[in-house]
Structure 1
Amino acid sequence: MIVGIGVDVVDLVRFERAASRTPRLLPRLFSAGELETPQRTLSLRSLAGRFAAKEAFIKAIGHSDGVQWHDMRVVSDDHGNPSFELHGAAAAIASQRGIGSIHLTMSHDAGIAIAWVVAES
């Protein structure tokens, strides 16, 4: 059963400008493992998609009380399929809401990054 859905869009130019103006922004939003994978350093476009994913996740679970950015890591499997690793308050809220599966898709094109999240029990 679907517990919640979330969608978010990020303006790529605005995200890139914020990242260049505020050097500590990216480490605040993303763990070291999110900024660099064993295969490559992620582009700002990819990071914007991951930021949209985190925002969409918050919408899907219903609230963000106590959730820190590093509590919800966006990871990819060997085929590049994205998913979440949850820790701390994000994991606790998901458990309290009976969420057993989280589905994530992301894309970027035409100046925006977008992410959809579906949370299932």
Structure 2
Amino acid sequence: MSTIRTGTDLAAVEDVVAGISAHGERYLDRLFTVRERTDAGDDPERLAARFAGKEAVVKLLRPAPDQAIPLREVAIVLDDHGAPTVELTGAAAALADAIGCGAIAVSLAHERGLAVATAVALSDR
């Protein structure tokens, strides 16, 4: 039997701006893949939406308290039509496989200094 898994997250654009101001490239490289940064054009609003998307996916995957999922292993990238999609690598991909998680759909939005994302997938467990 399949189970519907969901995750939602809200991120403040000012937190992304503060992270970039304080730590620059180190902050960006720790959280985002090159493709994510290219897709977002390093725009803080778009990066905040991707950050929220990553967190929503991690919530959907529900890792154990002692199981780390590096946010770079959850990439929110644009498909050929400009729609956001999820690409998993490393521990994130392994956890998705272990729970029988199929393709993950993600929706992103940003407005008035906030970014929100919702992720949905079907899982065997």
Q: Is the 8 Å Cα contact of residues 3 and 61 (structure 1) preserved in structure 2?
A: no
SS in 2 for 1:17: helix
Residues 1:107 and 2:109 are matched in the alignment: yes
Structure 1 residue 60: Cα displacement: 0.6
Structure 1 residue 109: Cα displacement: 0.5
2:63 maps to which residue? 63
> Structure 1 stretches (4+) deviating beyond 6 angstroms?
none
Query: How far apart, CA to CA, are the structure 2 residues paired with 1:41 and 1:113?
Result: 16
Cα RMSD for the two superposed structures: 1.5
Residues 1:4 and 2:5 are matched in the alignment: yes
TM-score, with length taken from structure 1: 0.90
Structure 1 residue 20: Cα displacement: 1.1
2:19 maps to which residue? 18
Residue correspondences, number: 119
Query: How far apart, CA to CA, are the structure 2 residues paired with 1:71 and 1:49?
Result: 16
Counterpart of 2:121, as a letter, is A
Deviations 1:33-82 (A, max 9, x none): 11114xx7241110000000011111111126132222111111121111
Residues 1:32 and 2:62 are matched in the alignment: no
SS in 2 for 1:16: helix
Counterpart of 2:47, as a letter, is L
Query: How far apart, CA to CA, are the structure 1 residues paired with 2:50 and 2:113?
Result: 15
Counterpart of 1:71, as a letter, is E
Q: Is the 8 Å Cα contact of residues 4 and 118 (structure 1) preserved in structure 2?
A: yes
Report the structure, 1 or 2, having the larger helix content.
Answer: 2
